[in-house]
Amino acid sequence: MLYIGCHLSASKGFLAMGKQAAEIGANTFQFFTRNPRGGKAKPIDEDDIKAYLEFAEEHKFGKIVAHAPYTLNAAAADKRIRDFAYETFKDDLMRMEYLPGNYYNFHPGSHVGQGAEKGTELIADILNRVLFPEMTTTVLLETMAGKGSEIGRSFEELKAIIDRVELSDKLGVCLDTCHISDGGYDIIGNPEGVLDEFDRILGIDRLKAVHLNDSMNPAESHKDRHAKLGEGFIGFDALIKFISMPAIDGLPINLETPNEIEGYAKEIAMVKKAML
């Protein structure tokens, strides 16, 4: 089953996102839980959520992916920034329970000179404080391009975090094709090898979602600049080959390409056609 969608604006609520997704041929989507730069989330609108859940069931949507704000840095050196990460994370996970069984994706964080080891400890510490046994949400660590001091540039770095978390059954991984290419994984030449390595280090069951992006830069550039599908260094055929592998089947695949809604509609149609 192909679940394909894109990043949508959450400003008009969940039913509006569901309808917009359906209009552009999507059956999943991603959204920010609040302003990407941080700040307060809107109050929960239970009627809107109820209407969305009915709509999603009727339209056979897959799981949806909430994305934490970019300013959330669980590995920050400044305690105030870590406290903001903790409060945001905790509040977001509480809110996610209104949409049971979906995904909450976050960027593990940047260690800002403290070293990957220290950063890893800080990220695991926050996860150990915000995860709770009754939660139905799975928290996804996103694979990162390795820009600056970003943690999560390799499968090993993600594993080091997961290994330190008590409720690690609540954790999964969201694989971003632009980021792993920028991180040095050869998804063009050896896509099977990339997923074999993922399986060897993390276990393929941890793979829960995909961000489908081309990259403006060649492999191993550690830049993190997304390109439209087929307009970057990965190329359309390699991207399609990648998401056609059995391990990806049934996972929500979301575009985060530099597009307005019409561009997303076009790319979703391209992907669907190629996946037939």
The footprint of Fe ion (CB under 5 A) covers 142, 176, 211, 256
- Tokens 């600049």 locate to 225
Candidates 70, 156, 196, 205; catalytic one: 70
Whether 67 is catalytic is yes
| Binding site partner of 267, from Zn ion, Fe ion, none, Cβ cut-off 5-8 A by kind | none
Whether 222 is catalytic is no
Please identify, using beta-carbon distances, which residue of 150 and 224 lies nearer to Zn ion. Answer: 224
Candidates 7, 107, 111, 206; catalytic one: 107
Q: How far is the CB of 176 from Fe ion (least distance, A)?
A: 4
| Binding site partner of 182, from Fe ion, Zn ion, none, Cβ cut-off 5-8 A by kind | none
Q: How far is the CB of 29 from Zn ion (least distance, A)?
A: 17
Q: How far is the CB of 240 from Fe ion (least distance, A)?
A: 18
β-bridge pairing 214-215 and 226-227: antiparallel
| Binding site partner of 211, from Zn ion, Fe ion, none, Cβ cut-off 5-8 A by kind | Fe ion
Q: How far is the CB of 142 from Zn ion (least distance, A)?
A: 8
Whether 150 is catalytic is no
Residues that bind Zn ion (CB under 5 A): 224
Whether 226 is catalytic is yes
Q: Write 86-95 long-range contacts (CB < 8 A, 24+).
A: 86/126, 86/129, 86/130, 88/34, 88/38, 89/126, 89/130, 90/129, 90/130, 91/41, 92/33, 92/34, 92/41, 92/66, 92/68, 93/130, 93/131, 93/132, 93/135, 93/137, 93/139, 95/33, 95/41, 95/44
Q: How far apart are CA 109 and CA 37, in angstroms?
A: 14
Does residue 96 contact residue 81 with C-beta atoms inside 8 Å? no
Candidates 176, 182, 214, 267; catalytic one: 176
Please identify, using beta-carbon distances, which residue of 36 and 100 lies nearer to Zn ion. Answer: 36
Q: How far apart are CA 107 and CA 21, in angstroms?
A: 24
Please identify, using beta-carbon distances, which residue of 70 and 132 lies nearer to Fe ion. Answer: 70
Give the catalytic positions in this structure: 37, 67, 70, 107, 142, 176, 179, 211, 224, 226, 256
